[in-house]
Amino acid sequence: MSMWRRNKYALFVLPAFLLTITLFFGGLADGLLKSFGYFPAIGQDTLRLSFYQQALAERAFQDSLFLNLRVALLSTIFASILGITLALVLYAFQLRSKRPWLLRLLQLPLTIPHLAAGYFMVLVFSQSGLMARLAYAVGWIDAPAEFPVIVNDAFGWGMVVTYAWKEAPFVALLLYPVLARIGSGWYDTARIYGARPWNYISTILLPAIRPALLTASLIVFVYTLTAFEVPYLLGVTYPATLPVYAYQLYTSGNFEDRSQALAIFWLLTVVTLLFGWIAYRFYRKSYDRGWE
């Protein structure tokens, strides 16, 4: 009986498990072999580390890495700040019960695909975009070229703005349930003991959402570090972010470049798995902590 039970549950997991193993880990392993130069189809069946060495030695790689870290870090910071604000405002207005349409409105960016979000930002922030036109209207600039380059810029502001807009509701979505569990009892208690609204936010609300916030920002960081679509649309040719740089290498058609591309993606994967594991630990921790 108990043997059958255990086997039955193992059977339940099996389809999902097999799909993940073949399609995901299979792909990763396949890529790993190729990153070591293993292409038996063209007679390359020795494993070499040289592609990693080559990839790391490229000036383009270092520039890409630098750009990548900068964009991911700034995006995470802005998305987190905006997300916290959003979650706190939602909490303060208790939108869920009273104004559900407003909650939906603020979650709008969650639904919009990244490519679309990126293009919206082009229309808002490019040198002939809405902001430039407004700046002209109030007399700050006299020609499009005077408007600062925000999208398709070497610094990566266009990507940062897109990610901040797109991921802030995501951050808020992870934080809001934690806040929603806090009843008015906490606020009453804090006030009785002398807490002003700002004290309440800084000593109670922010620490309470910290584990969830860490999870959310790690996810945003990992995503912005490895995403392809937005930098492909909003970046410049050089330096490109690592995923775009790797994609360019891969599609150049040369087997050596392909191995290098896969080597770069493997490095990224190791980093993301590490961050992912940390994020998951924080997530479980915030999940397990005893709330009233």
Q: Is residue 47 at the binding interface for another protein, with CB under 8 A as the rule?
A: no
Residue 278, H or E segment: helix 255-288
Q: 155 vs 186, which CB is nearer to another protein?
A: 186
Task: For residue 78, count other CB atoms closer than 10 A to its CB.
Answer: 18
The contact mask relative to another protein for 208-247 (x = CB under 8 A, - = no) is x-x--------x--x---xxxx--xx---------x--xx
Cα(59)–Cα(286) distance, integer angstroms: 41
Q: Note whether 36 and 49 are within 8 A (CB).
A: yes
Q: 129 vs 156, which CB is nearer to another protein?
A: 129
Tokens found for residue 88 = 């706190």
Q: Is residue 66 at the binding interface for another protein, with CB under 8 A as the rule?
A: no
Return the residues of window 193-212 that contact another protein according to CB under 8 A. 193-197, 199-201, 203-204, 207-208, 210
Question: Degrees (nearest 5) of the Cα angle 213, 215, 219?
Answer: 115
Contacts of 162 (CB under 8 A, 6+ apart): 114, 117, 118, 121, 230, 234
Q: Is residue 81 at the binding interface for another protein, with CB under 8 A as the rule?
A: no
Q: 19 vs 47, which CB is nearer to another protein?
A: 19
Q: Is residue 87 at the binding interface for another protein, with CB under 8 A as the rule?
A: no
Tokens found for residue 248 = 């360019």
Choose which of 187, 248, 256, 281 interacts with another protein (CB under 8 A). Answer: 187
Cα(127)–Cα(180) distance, integer angstroms: 42
Q: 93 vs 238, which CB is nearer to another protein?
A: 93
Choose which of 9, 66, 140, 238 interacts with another protein (CB under 8 A). Answer: 9
In angstroms, give the least distance from the CB of 137 to another protein: 6
In angstroms, give the least distance from the CB of 66 to another protein: 19
Q: Note whether 224 and 76 are within 8 A (CB).
A: yes
Return the residues of window 157-176 that contact another protein according to CB under 8 A. 165, 169
What torsion, rounded to 10 degrees, do the Cα atoms 258, 274, 20, 248 define? -20
Q: 21 vs 154, which CB is nearer to another protein?
A: 21
Backbone angles phi, psi at 39, to 5 degrees: -125, 80
Peptide bond just before 207 cis, omega within 30 deg: no
Choose which of 85, 202, 252, 254 interacts with another protein (CB under 8 A). Answer: 85
Q: 16 vs 57, which CB is nearer to another protein?
A: 16
Cα(230)–Cα(162) distance, integer angstroms: 8
Q: Is residue 285 at the binding interface for another protein, with CB under 8 A as the rule?
A: no
Cα(24)–Cα(265) distance, integer angstroms: 14
Return the residues of window 98-157 that contact another protein according to CB under 8 A. 102, 105-106, 108-109, 111-124, 128-130, 132-134, 136-137, 144
In angstroms, give the least distance from the CB of 28 to another protein: 6
